[in-house]
Amino acid sequence: MELNNDRFLRALARQPVDRTPVWMMRQAGRYLPEYRATRAAAGDFMALCRNHELACEVTLQPLERYPLDAAILFSDILTIPDAMGLGLYFETGEGPKFRKPVRTTADVEALAVPDAERDLDYVMRAVSTIRRELNGRVPLIGFSGSPWTLATYMVEGSSSKDFRHVKAMLYDTPDTMHRLLDTLAAAVTDYLNAQIRAGAQAVQIFDTWGGALSTPAYLEFSLRYMEQIVAGLIREHEGRRVPVILFTKNGGQWLEDMATAGADALGLDWTTELSEARARVGHRVALQGNLDPNVLFARPTAIRAEVARTLDSFGAGPGHVFNLGHGISQFTDPDRVTAFMEALHELSPAYHRN
Ligand code: CP3
């Protein structure tokens, strides 16, 4: 099927575009009143993820409001550990929790790789429904958490600030940690390939907590497994390349290593300058980012100035996908996002005249 807007895929391939494509991490979410209404109708967050029609509805909501160049599957990174039987639940205001965290070598040995087509069929049904409803409007992004990031939630049993259980496992019993990450890498590869077969046209790996590791630990326990996943992914589907984006939050110091992992693009948070990142790795990969999501709490003139600065930091020419440096806050005023989009659409064409 024809794509009416392929700016996002072209930018990832570092091909010329007329303006800088944009999407936002967590673009479908609680800052939108229509999202809150659909979630209330579904019951709770996981019920929304499991209902392919409602998951499709919320995926499309931000596209109705804003001129975005990509849609992202509405789901969560914790569907994999849930399918492994850890018992995912969400306590209001407290984030995700697992009834059965993974704490011992025996717990790790008991884990099996889920069959994505069977155990995560609700995700694949959402992907194919969204593709059908998008009808070529923009490409659909699939996603997964990185093995390390999934491991942090599985071992801690919840969100964490200090990662004490998962780091104790890493340093006390590295073989156990490697076994866990190996199982997760196999699960993520199978899951992303199932999303690609169901219709995802690009995939992003969210390594939200890679930046909590030391450099040697990052290379050994996070990047290595993302590299293994990238090597196992379907890279061409429906006659088109399926680009892979790696996003390690706070990973700016490791860009050179990340650029060798086989991905098409690297996602950046706002602590790394695009100009510097481009000079370091821009000849190998496209770059995605990196407006601080909290800039959207400022007034439109300040938003516009930061959008201008971000575009200028990457500079002229192809290879930039505009995004936030992390997920949009639930407290964002949707009108501030309008100001962001207007500034971007007005300012970005100047960077693509050659
Ligand atoms: O970007 C998108 O629009 C797609 C949807 C998406 C969600 N989660 C929806 C969601 C994506 C890509 C994710 C990924 C995700 N989930 C990550 C990695 C991305 C990142 O932020 O770095 C992580 C760490 C998770 C785990 C998770 N799920 C957390 C920490 C939370 C927040 C809990 C809270 O109450 O703040 C969730 C829940 C979640 N996932 C929500 C949404 C819209 C909010 C739940 C709700 O509607 O109540």
ipTM of the complex model: 0.92
Active site residues: 26, 30, 39, 76, 153
Measured CA distances, 13 to 16, 59, 197, 289 (Å):
9, 24, 21, 16
* Residue set of the binding site: 26-30, 76, 153, 208, 326
Q: What is the pLDDT along the chain (354 residues), one digit of tens a residue?
A: 689 999 999 999 999 999 999 999 999 999 999 999 999 999 999 999 999 999 999 999 999 999 999 999 999 999 999 999 999 999 877 899 999 999 999 999 999 999 999 999 999 999 999 999 999 999 999 999 999 999 999 999 999 999 999 999 999 999 999 999 999 999 999 999 999 999 999 999 999 999 999 999 999 999 999 999 999 999 999 999 999 999 999 999 999 999 999 999 999 999 999 999 999 999 999 999 999 999 999 999 999 999 999 999 999 999 999 999 999 999 999 999 999 999 999 999 999 997
* Ligand 1 centroid to residue 280 C-alpha, Å: 30
CATH of the domain at 163: 3.20.20.210
Q: Flag whether 252 is in a domain.
A: yes
Q: Flag whether 102 is in a domain.
A: yes
Q: Flag whether 276 is in a domain.
A: yes
Q: Ligand 1: residues within 6 Å at CB?
A: 25-30, 39, 45, 72, 74, 76-78, 95-96, 143, 145, 159, 206, 208, 249, 327
Q: Flag whether 208 is in a domain.
A: yes
Question: How many whole angstroms separate alpha carbon 258 and alpha carbon 248?
Answer: 9
Q: Flag whether 1 is in a domain.
A: no
Q: Flag whether 2 is in a domain.
A: no
Q: Flag whether 129 is in a domain.
A: yes
Q: Which of 27, 74, 77, 209 to mutate to test the pocket of ligand 1 (most atoms within 8 A of CB)?
A: 77
Q: Flag whether 215 is in a domain.
A: yes
Domain count, the chain: 1
Domain around 190: 7-352
